[in-house]
Amino acid sequence: MNKFIIFCTVLFLVSCKKEEENCNCGRITNDGVDIATNCYWIEIENDCSGNRKTFCIDQDKWWDANAGEDFCITNVSSW
């Protein structure tokens, strides 16, 4: 019986996969518009590193991106 319990435990541990973090996502901390460059920007705090970075995005996405919400940048892997 002990061998069966050990086997089941080992099987369970081996079959578990660690969920990968998505390091190109984070929480929007600030947003705005730079009229001189026509840049609709959001500042995001990265979920993995805690670093903050500002990104220019198109106006349609900017209208839906609110401070405090999660947002992912698809053309970068991390920052």
In a domain, residue 9? The reply is no
What CATH number is associated with residue 71? 2.40.50
In a domain, residue 12? The reply is no
Structure tokens at 45: 């705090």
In a domain, residue 42? The reply is yes
> pLDDT (tens digit, 9 = 90+) per residue, 19-45?
556 799 999 999 999 999 999 999 999
Structural domain of residue 49, as residue ranges? 20-79
In a domain, residue 53? The reply is yes
In a domain, residue 38? The reply is yes
Residue 34 neighbours by CB distance under 10 Å: 11
In a domain, residue 77? The reply is yes
Number of domain units in the chain: 1
Mean pLDDT (the chain) is 84
CA–CA dist 72, 27 (Å, integer): 9
User: What secondary structure letter does DSSP report for 69?
Assistant: S
**Is 54 in contact with 65 (CB distance < 8 Å)?**
no
